Amino acid sequence: MNNIYKNVRFGGTALAVLLTASIAALGQGNNQPSGQASGTGTSNVVVTNSPAQPVPVKDQDNPARQPFQWQNSGTIAAGSDRVDFTIQVPAGKRLVIEQLSGAASVNNSVGTVPRFLIASFSGGIASGYAPGAYVGNDGMSPRVYASQQLRMYADPGTNVSVEVQRSSDNVGGYSGTVSFTVSVTGYLVNIP
């Protein structure tokens, strides 16, 4: 029995020495992979990707957004006060309109002011308007620009109406022409 006691006692001493050495190694960071901090409870993350294999990136916040852009150009003829366009929203999608922009030149008319309007329907309610800003003459023609940041919605299967209008001239008529370009930007979202 005396022998067994000595063997156990020797084994216990060896175990204690082994544990003490392991704890010391942990405290010195000897068991940490390269590039990691030791003993602080934090570690550095190292990511190395070559330009040929970049880190994949995905828009987690808005994966359903589908870019939308529409543009049209034309002329408001003499004697007319507007030109209308229709944008049909696809079935199963909602259109979120973020920007209405336009540029117009007035030709051979004094006092005429162009303006850009947009109307959409969401929940059966129509809304929208974008004021133009006079920026001066482009050669002999007054030039008007509009750029309006919006947040409008159009339900699936509805029509968005875009109008380019003009005021009457200085004698109450619609003389001359108005040349324009108008654009709408935003995104579509799938509606289940």
Give the global pTM.
0.62
The domain tally of the chain equals: 2
* Tens-digit pLDDT profile for residues 97-139: 999 888 888 888 888 888 888 888 888 777 766 665 656 556 6
What beta strand segments (E) does the chain contain?
Answer: 66-76, 82-88, 93-107, 114-122, 125-127, 133-138, 141-154, 159-166, 177-190
Q: How far apart (Å, rounded) are the C-alpha atoms in residues 146 and 130?
A: 7
Domain hosting 101: range is: 66-190
The answer to whether position 57 is within a domain reads: no
52, 116, 123, 152, 180 from 132: Cα distances, Å: 47, 7, 28, 18, 12
Q: State the average pLDDT over residues 128-157.
A: 73
CB 102 within 8 A of CB 150: no
Is the per-residue pLDDT at 61 higher than 70?
no
Asked if residue 89 and residue 27 are part of one domain, the reply reads no
Token couple for 33: 């992979």
Which residues contact residue 65 at a Cβ distance below 8 angstroms, ignoring those fewer than 6 apart? 59, 187, 188, 189
Asked if residue 11 and residue 94 are part of one domain, the reply reads no
CB 191 within 8 A of CB 94: yes
Asked if residue 29 and residue 70 are part of one domain, the reply reads no
CATH number of the structural domain spanning residue 174: 2.60.120
pLDDT band at 51 (very low <50, low <70, confident <90, very high): confident
Asked if residue 115 and residue 25 are part of one domain, the reply reads no
